[in-house]
Structure 1
Amino acid sequence: MSLEVPASQQSRCAVHPEQPAGGTCTRCGSFICADCATSVPGLGVRLYCAACAARPEVNYLEALRQRYWGRRDEWAWVVAGVTLLLCVGVAAAFAQWGLSATKQSLFPLVLLLPVPVGVAFFLGKRWARHALLPTPLVMAVAADVLYRDGRFLFFLCAIPGLFIALRIHRDARNQLFFRLPVSSGSLKLLWDLRFNNPLARQALHFGFSAVFMPLLAPVALICGAVALTRVDLKATPPIDRRGQAITGIVLGLVSPAVWGFALLPVLDRWLSSMVYK
């Protein structure tokens, strides 16, 4: 007796009826073929159809994308704040010195060059993301035209602005604000940074800070201890950063001891001098 199932009776993919089904979607139960089977990061070996894998309640990365989609990020507010400060500075300069036809008196106008870009950036205009990159260099060139004696200083000041603009341009959170496509890898990094046990990262930061400022050691200990209780590798998605939490605790314990051994001889000599004085 043959155990082979006739082709007419084999289960077929719900999306590709010509393909035999290799399994069912974990969420909706529909048959899926090898081409349709989709895994979701952080959910182990469970397979979903393409439609279910893109749903926020299944794919935490998609939920993260929708959470920040079109919402202003920190950089938008930073750019808006800098733009406002530039406007206030120019207004104060003209109120103090007035406006004349000399190049030196027109120098504050250079600070107004990035204002349109800053306003458009805050409003979510995509062209402003690209225009932000050359803005520091354009300001340096304009300042050099008006006041050539400070050429080196102008271009030196433009370098940090270029790096910050590049950092903003590559930021995944900022790309979501402008409704731009973001890869799953970038979303995963963003989720790790903001939601994957951030208290463990704070414990690590306070631990390293305690090496130079031992008063921060208790903060590192508390953050590390609480972060350890939040580690859950079986969660969906898994919560980790155990190593950072433990490192923060160790540094929080070691730093005061090191400072104590270093300061103990000094304290002993000071007390001795006070006694025999």
Structure 2
Amino acid sequence: MSLEVPPSARPHCAVHPDVLAGGTCSRCGGFICADCATSLLGDGRIYCVACAKRPGVDYLEAFRQEYWGRRDSWAWTVGMLTLSLVLGVLYSAASKGPPSRKEWLFSALFLATVPMGGAFFLGKPWARHALVATPLVVALGAGVLEPALRFQHLLAALPFTFVAVHIHRDVRSRLFFRRDVTPGALAALWNRLRNNPIARQAFHFGFSSLFMPLLSPLAVVCGVVGLMRVNLQAHPPIGRRGQAIAGIVLGVVSPPLWLFVLNYLDQRFGLVWKD
């Protein structure tokens, strides 16, 4: 009597019936082959393709959907700056007499950027690219109106161009414009915004307590709470153990360090306190 199970009796993949299954989905229990098996970042379990895409299983997908098309801080910044530009031009025109030709041309140059700013605030894809070119275009236009200051205008446009490039590459801004992002970039954004934020705040308080020792209790409390929340086996995993410990250490070290410095200054220069 043979105990060997014939291939026809072995479980086959639910998606590829001609392929033998290599395991089962951790969520639905369906049979899956090697091509259908999906392992999520930080999970360690195996899912079928359908279950792996469910927001309840893939926390990064749920995170992406939460911010997909949702206006971010950069959109609000560009929108408010555009509105301020319009109000500034109108106020300048109303507070002075009839504008000169040069002033009128400068006003027209600045107002030409308003459609881009409004479109960026509304999430129009073309405005995301136009934002990068806008500072240089305005600088070139200003250089035509003031040839003697052409270099100064271009130099002044460089910081704005740098910020525009940063906005263009920003993952959160890409989600607002419904642009695809890589899983690694999405994981980095999730880690920055959602992964144990109180531990990250503990580190910020601890570092700030080196300059403002009154923040040291906040650093210690936040560090302890953040450290208690660390659980790398959770779904999604909760990390930042190092930042929580650093916040606690800096919060504890800061007051004695300040006492030492003040005592040294008092003994060396007599500038801190006197009997």
- Report the TM-score, using the length of structure 2 for normalisation: 0.93
| Superposition deviation, residue 214 in structure 1 | 2.2
- Aligned positions, number: 273
Which segments of 5 or more consecutive residues in structure 2 lack a partner in the other structure?
none
Partner in structure 2 of residue 14 of structure 1 = 14
Cα 1:82/1:271, change in 2 over 3 Å: closer
Residue 101 of structure 1: how far off its partner (Å): 4.9
Gaps of 5+ in 1: none
Structure 2 counterpart of 1:38: 38
What residue is the counterpart of 2:181 in the other structure? 182
Cα deviations by residue, 1:45-81 (Å, 9 ceiling, x for unpaired)? x111101000000000110111111111111111111
User: Could you say which residue in structure 2 is the equivalent of 1:151?
Assistant: 150
2:27 aligns with 27
Contact kept, 8 Å, 1:79 with 1:121, in 2: the verdict is: yes
Q: 1:114 to 1:222 in 2, by over 3 A?
A: farther
Say if 1:100 and 1:106, in contact at 8 Å, map to a contact too.
no
**Residue in 1 aligned with 2:232?**
233
Indicate if the aligned counterparts of 2:265 and 2:271 stay in contact, CA closer than 8 A. yes
Partner of 2:203: 204
1:105 Cα deviation after fit: 4.4
What CA distance in whole angstroms lies between the structure 2 residues aligned with 1:99 and 1:161? 31
SS at structure 2 position matched to 1:43: coil
Instruction: Say whether the 8 Å CA contact 1:104–1:147 is kept in structure 2.
Output: no
Alpha-carbon distance in 1 for matches of 2:34, 2:97: 73
Instruction: After TM superposition, give the deviation of residue 165 of structure 1 in Å.
Output: 1.0
CA 1:150/1:271 → structure 2, altered by over 3 Å: closer, same or farther? closer
1:4, distance to aligned residue in structure 2 (A): 2.4
State the 1:118 CA deviation: 0.9
Partner residue, 2:161: 162
Pair 25,99 (structure 1): closer, same or farther in 2 beyond 3 Å: farther
The answer (yes or no) to whether the contact 2:206–2:247 under 8 Å persists in 1 is: yes
Q: Does the 8 Å CA contact 1:14/1:30 hold for their aligned counterparts?
A: yes
Q: Which residue identity lines up with residue 55 of structure 1 in the other structure?
A: R
Tell me if structure 1 keeps the 8 A contact 2:38–2:49. Answer: yes
Q: C-alpha offsets along residues 214-246 of structure 1, whole Å, 9 cap, x if unaligned?
A: 232222222212211211222111101010011
List per-residue Cα deviations over 1:198-218 (Å, max 9, x = no partner).
Answer: 111111122222222223222
The one-letter code matched in structure 2 to 1:63 is A
Rounded Cα–Cα distance in structure 1 between residues aligned with 2:89 and 2:184 = 42
**Equivalent residue for 1:258?**
257
Give the match's secondary structure for 2:237: coil
Q: Could you give the per-residue CA deviations for residues 6-60 of structure 1, whole angstroms, max 9, x where no partner exists?
A: 121121111111111101111111110000000111211x111101000000000
**Do the aligned partners of 2:93 and 2:99 also contact (CA within 8 Å) in 1?**
no
Native 8 Å contact 2:262 2:272 kept in 1: no
